[in-house]
A and B are shown apart, each in its own frame.
Chain A
Amino acid sequence: SYSPEPDQRRTLPPGWVSLGRADPEEELSLTFALRQQNLERLSELVQAVSDPNSPQYGKYLTLENVADLVRPSPLTLHTVQKWLLAAGAQKCHSVITQDFLTCWLSIRQAELLLPGAEFHHYVGGPTETHVVRSPRPYQLPQALAPHVDFVGGLHRFPPTSSLRQRPEPQVTGTVG
């Protein structure tokens, strides 16, 4: 097996606390980012439609065009779906480009599917948001390496706002 995200920060962001292990029968949703195709071609097309000097300028692709270009290969789709089905994943839904797959699994199934993962409950952020995350890195079977970029929903916490309410600017006597 291999670790798709060895360099992902997994430390708890400030203001978040662990509420302990999640119950094995609880359910959670995970997002599988499937390997896409023809990304070089996609990059060329972005240049062509964004450069005012190009004859293609402004001739944008539709979502269907993009889907035809980057859609994962049949082998990737088949391999990942077989793997998830065998693990008991349910209620999977995809997107038009077919390069993301979101599935619901029990904690037990997810920890079997992703060796090393260990799901805990956390609460934090300005509005006491509850999330389930894994503080430990997950692995995937080596056979999946050509087919999955990463699995979302394990390590990254919801972002926090950086807006601030600054005291009114200090003015040196220029306004009465």
Chain B
Amino acid sequence: LHLGVTPSVIRKRYNLTSQDVGSGTSNNSQACAQFLEQYFHDSDLAQFMRLFGGNFAHQASVTRVVGQQGRGRAGIEASLDVQYLMSAGANISTWVYSSPGRHEGQEPFLQWLMLLSNESALPHVHTVSYGDEEDSLSSAYIQRVNTELMKAAARGLTLLFASGDSGAGCWSVSGRHQFRPTFPASSPYVTTVGGTSFQEPFLITNEIVDYISGGGFSNVFPRPSYQEEAVAKFLSSSPHLPPSSYFNASGRAYPDVAALSDGYWVVSNRVPIPWVSGTSASTPVFGGLLSLINEHRILSGRPPLGFLNPRLYQQHGAGLFDVTHGCHASCLDEEVEGQGFCSGPGWDPVTGWGTPNFPALLKTLLNP
């Protein structure tokens, strides 16, 4: 029984023991980035760990903050990112990238990309809660940002982006409704994280789709070869496919994975806040678990995981709990009646391959 998602609920659901923490001796590290001009307070993190971090070794402060932290009020998103990245990826050196203060003269997401191109030594795993509808961005910008994400993949950085909180999305193109993919979630060079809920809200049981979980098919990027087999199988077998006019079936499909995104406890401005929901929550959780796997890899002399998708799809999602119940939201019209895609066996455009079963995932990703 639980009254909202806390680190111990996460660790129990994803089969983490109190031993599953960083060693504190490796050069492992992780980072979260948010561009909302929000601040986080170390004091909130310390209080969060006092409240919820009692049964696992953890670090009580971040290692490095990039971008000035104002004296402003802490933001829920900034607090949530740090608190769940550092409790899932416990006892691992953590950086926080936070956009500049009040009079930001630039585009914070662009500044983060420039930082990646200007620092040789960066954390291995980066969780990023940022996205815009593909159709609102110029193709020059989308293509160039995609190249920046490719540069990061070539360097072995694992970039995890939230899949978004509007389900399949919806907009009207020449009078007809279509689903609305978001970017960078739709980039073929990142791992995109969707969201789930517990089937029984107050019990740690199996997970179903969180109806807000972003997912679908890119209108800009063609399907990468690494996901051809999995997506083709979904398209040929899903009993609940929306009309083909709503989506681009040949596009890069996302998300790739998922984690709980519903009903989190967060401490912000010294106040514990319940029921915070969004894929901005599931992304740091999944990122933290990948950091733990990197820890084992680094301690056994292997390179970090890097760009995960080719391996993830090759292994057909081994080590993940497959989510097969539920659909996410979309257009409110008489044709689809608010329903987007539905989850099903194997990969699907709502929860990807599913949510992490840590010991099994560690086993499949440790070698080579």
Residues of A within 8 A of B (CB): 4-9, 28-29, 31, 33, 36, 39, 42-43, 45-47, 49-53, 57-66, 70, 95-97, 99-100, 102, 125-132, 149-150, 152-153, 156, 158-169, 171, 174-175
Q: With A95-B117, A126-B36 as given contacts, are A165 and B72 in contact (CB-CB < 8 Å)?
A: no
Residues of A within 8 A of B76 (CB): 161, 163, 165
CB pair B262–A169 under 8 Å, yes or no, is: yes
Q: Which listed residue (A53, A62, A162) contacts B280, Cβ 8 A?
A: A162
Q: Do B138 and A150 have beta carbons less than 8 Å apart?
A: yes
B200 touches A174 (CB 8 A): yes
Across the interface, do A42 and B38 meet the contact criterion of CB distance under 8 Å? Answer: no
A4-B106 contact in complex given A45-B154, A47-B310, A52-B368, C-beta closer than 8 Å? no
The answer on a CB contact under 8 Å between B201 and A66 is: no
- The reply to whether A164 and B137 contact each other, CB–CB distance below 8 Å, is no
Are A50 and B309 in contact, with the CB atoms below 8 A? yes
Contact A100 B38 (CB under 8 A): no
In the complex, the answer to whether A61 meets B280 with C-beta atoms within 8 Å is no
In chain B, positions 74-106 with a C-beta closer than 8 Å to chain A are 75-77, 80, 99, 102-106
Using a Cβ–Cβ cut-off of 8 Å, how many residues does chain B contribute to the interface with A?
A: 76
Known: A42-B150, A149-B144. A9 touches B136 (CB 8 A): yes
Assess A66 versus B154: contact at CB under 8 Å? Given A46-B307, A175-B202: yes
Q: Write out the residue numbers on chain A whose beta carbons fall within 8 Å of the beta carbon of B200.
A: 174
Q: Which residue of chain B has its CB nearest to the CB of A96?
A: B118
Interface of chain B: mostly helix, strand, loop or mixed: loop
B-side interface residues toward A, CB under 8 Å?
1, 4, 35-38, 72, 75-77, 80, 99, 102-111, 113-114, 117-120, 129-132, 135-141, 143-144, 147, 150-151, 153-156, 164-166, 189, 197, 200-202, 262-263, 273-278, 280-281, 302-303, 306-311, 314, 368
Check A158 against B156 for contact (C-beta < 8 Å).
no
Once the chains bind, are B120 and A96 in contact (CB under 8 Å)? yes
- B105 near A96: Cβ-Cβ < 8 Å: no
Q: Knowing A50-B306, A132-B105, say if A163 contacts B138 (CB, 8 Å).
A: no
When chains A and B are docked, how far (Å) is the Cα of A134 from the Cα of B114? 22
Most buried by A among B139, B153, B273: B153
In the bound complex, residues from chain A placing their C-beta under 8 Å from that of B38 are 127, 161
Contact among A5, A31, A47, A130 with B107 in the assembled complex (CB-CB below 8 Å): A31
The chain A residue sitting closest to B81, CB to CB, is: A163
- CB–CB B277/A164 < 8 A: yes
Task: List 16 A-B pairs, Cβ < 8 Å.
Answer: A7-B138, A46-B153, A47-B310, A52-B310, A52-B368, A58-B306, A60-B156, A63-B120, A96-B120, A99-B117, A100-B113, A102-B114, A130-B103, A149-B143, A152-B106, A156-B141
Chain A: minimal CB distance from B2 (Å) = 11
A38 to B51, CA, bound (A): 51
Q: A46-B154, A97-B151 are in contact. Are A129 and B104 (CB under 8 A)?
A: yes
B106 touches A31 (CB 8 A): yes
A127 to B202, CA, bound (A): 34
Q: Kindly identify which residue among A51, A63, A152 contacts B155, using a CB–CB cutoff of 8 Å.
A: A63
Given A156-B141, A158-B37, A164-B277, 9 more pairs with CB closer than 8 A: A7-B139, A31-B110, A129-B102, A152-B110, A158-B99, A161-B38, A165-B277, A168-B201, A168-B275
Contact across chains for A46 and B150 when beta carbons are under 8 A apart: yes
Decide: A50 near B311, CB < 8 A? Known: A5-B140, A160-B36, A163-B76. yes
Taking CB as reference atom, which chain A residue is nearest B119? Answer: A63
**In the complex, A59 Cα to B307 Cα: how many Å?**
12
Q: Are B310 and A51 in contact (CB under 8 A)?
A: yes
Q: Are B144 and A60 in contact (CB under 8 A)?
A: no
**A62 near B106 (CB under 8 angstroms)?**
no
Residue of B nearest to A169 (CB): B201
Complex Cα gap A131–B106 (Å): 8
Q: Are B117 and A100 in contact (CB under 8 A)?
A: yes
Decide: A127 and B139 in contact? CB cutoff 8 A.
no
Chain B residues closer than 8 Å to A66, beta-carbon distance: 151, 154-155
Which of A33, A58, A159 has the most chain B CB atoms closer than 10 A to its own CB? Answer: A159
Q: Which residues from chain B contact A175 at a C-beta distance below 8 Å? A: 1, 202
- B35 to chain A: closest residue by CB: A159
Chain B residues lying within 8 Å of A49, measured Cβ to Cβ, are: 153-154, 156, 306-307
* A100-B117, A156-B137 given; A62·B278 CB < 8 A: no
**Also in contact, A158 and B117, with CB within 8 A (given A52-B314, A167-B275):** no
| Residues A131 and B104 in contact in the complex (CB < 8 Å), given A31-B114, A36-B147 | yes
